[in-house]
Structure 1
């Protein structure tokens, strides 16, 4: 992997060219502006605007993901820091919450530690969704023990039993949860500007939607919330294909960084459209191996990475999108019945 990384750097794969950065800056502002303009026209135009805005929210999240992974340079530099603020305003997510949990996810995807009572406790926050979802049957005991209040215990009893039919509706609500966690984390850490920008996303969005809609204000608010639901669904759908349904393991039994990645990370098919739709996260294995690599270059590393991992005795899992979702639902179903 070190050799492949050196070769990729020599080819410039880790650089995001200036034209692409400029395009992303235009996109993050122009697409929402166009969506709200279409809302003002009403009817089919408004519907097209909602679809456009819903499709755009994952795109803005991918930009924040790139910035936090230092794709535009060290994230504490002026330009990435400014752009992360732009993303917080136009997306409603803050980088403090994302970085806090996502870097741990990269180190221990699907990883757990064993508690004093012998129960697996998630290290990776992406598989810790108590009391709403049990991502794997190995986490059933943890889900039960982690609930403290009566309300949480009730939810942890009811929700997992219906998590397969409720799964897609829950994905649609993901944006609201992530935005709230962003605001809570930023406020807790004293990052008042970031928290204010995340709040402003909702306040300005609802205000503009209520003002610009040709009908009653509530129709604009509904338009805005529907776009949020669509955006949350697309983004969560992309994320769950990468790791859900793969091994949930005791990190002390894994044989180092590459073994942890191979146990728990999968790719889904690549094409110009799929790379655009997923923000390059369909090449999830390569993203975990080279997290600072520009996303547009990740597919170029697939074949070499596959060969290197197989030669070193690791698994390289690649499934079609339908097969990956089937694996996700199978794991959720097994957890529901456990």
Structure 2
């Protein structure tokens, strides 16, 4: 059970205490519209716990893989309501081949089109209008991302696909998803309860999506028939978000995406320490190291998605293909 980074204990204990305090607050506030403010706060809390579960799943908290697995199960399934097994399989594919067409599940979504090839396949008279403006719809769509994450991960656990510790995952998910429903409908009127759940899910989904979007969206897309060395594959497709320690907390360390992809098991508080070395090494070897402000990265994401929807060829991909094919 030896821990790898001491401050994680405080975050783990704090997460459990915060959840208990949130439950007590819901009961204490009672049948009031003030509950909507509390719902927004719980949405933020769930996202922060999800960040912590992300670190545990990457073996950042404990030296023991077993302890990291169980920590992820408790954080993801029991506290947040997302399947650890579903996330682990999906995220492992992403880390192995970020932004690679046909391989990375993060650029293969049913609503948003991330590549020109996807746009060609999906474009018809019903989707053309939306695709041309999908960049502007991206962030509003994140308001339903929380609901989609719960539904998708639960469906995965209940499917016939292999899931390690399926019984435990189902049990934890059932407790997490059903207990809050019972609580809010017992404490509040039906209208307030529905509004509470809608606000919590909207804030959770938007916060999660807005934290993950700057990492790779709008960065080079790797064609399926192109092989790239590890350093270039991880650095060229990743983007850092500039900012100090406050940004580290707000984005759960995901703002240092280049370093995270190079050293996925490194505790997130240490990523900032190695960033100068990585930046210098990339400059020495001619590998483009991308970092920009959060707002600028959002602008890049919106512009890229609109251009893809309009049928513009990926200007990043062409030099990439010429270099590595």
What's the TM-score once normalised by structure 2's chain length? 0.85
- Contact persistence 1:140–1:335 (CA under 8 A): yes
> What's the offset of the Cα at 1:156?
5.0
Q: Is the 8 A contact 2:57 2:88 kept in 1?
A: yes
Aligned to 2:209: 236
Matches within 5 A, 1:209-224: 209-213=184-188, 216-224=189-197
Secondary structure at the aligned position of 2:113 is classed as coil
Closer/same/farther in 2, CA of residues 196 and 141 from structure 1, 3 Å limit: farther
User: Match for residue 27 of structure 1?
Assistant: 14
Q: Does 1:36 align with 2:26?
A: no
| 1:129-168 matches, cutoff 5 A | 129-130=109-110, 132-143=111-122, 159-168=130-139
Change (3 A) 1:44 1:16: farther
Pairing 1:46–2:35 present: yes
Pair 31,129 (structure 1): closer, same or farther in 2 beyond 3 Å: same
1:104 to partner: Cα distance: 1.3
- In 2, the alpha carbon distance for the partners of 1:33 and 1:224 equals 17
Q: In the alignment, is the contact (CA less than 8 A) between 1:210 and 1:218 conserved in 2?
A: no
Cα distance in structure 1, aligned partners of 2:94 and 2:288: 19
Once the two structures are TM-superposed, the CA of residue 307 in structure 1 deviates from its matched residue by: 0.4
RMSD: 2.3
1:299–1:274 Cα change, 3 Å: same
Report the 3-state secondary structure (helix = DSSP H, G, I; strand = E; otherwise coil) of the residue aligned with 1:55.
helix
Q: What residue ranges of structure 1 are gaps of 5+ in the alignment?
A: 1-13, 113-121, 145-152
Who is 1:169 aligned against? 140
- The residue aligned with 1:182 is 153
Q: CA deviation at 1:195?
A: 2.6
Partner of 1:67 in structure 2?
Answer: 56
Q: CA deviation at 1:23?
A: 1.7
- Give 2:74's aligned residue: 86
Provide the secondary structure at the position in 2 that maps to 1:293: coil
2:36·2:199 contact (CA, 8 Å) conserved in 1?
no
Residue number among 263, 272, 291 corresponding to 2:236 in the alignment: 263
Give the whole-Å Cα distance in 1 for the aligned partners of 2:225 and 2:84: 29
In the TM superposition, residue 261 of structure 1 has moved relative to its aligned partner by 1.5
- Separation in structure 2 between the aligned mates of residue 308 and residue 58 of structure 1, nearest angstrom: 33
Whole-angstrom distance in 1 between the partners of 2:126 and 2:202: 22
Counterpart for residue 149 of structure 1: none
Q: Which residue of 1 aligns with 2:282?
A: 309
- Please report how far the alpha carbon of residue 61 of structure 1 lies from its aligned counterpart in structure 2 after TM superposition: 1.0
The corresponding residue for 1:119 is none
Distance in 1 of aligned mates of 2:250 and 2:307: 29
CA distance in 1, matches of 2:126, 2:286: 42
Equivalent pair of 1:137/1:331 in contact (CA under 8 Å): no
Tell whether the 8 Å contact from 1:35 to 1:50 is kept in structure 2 after alignment.
no
Decide which moves more: 281-290 or 100-109: 100-109
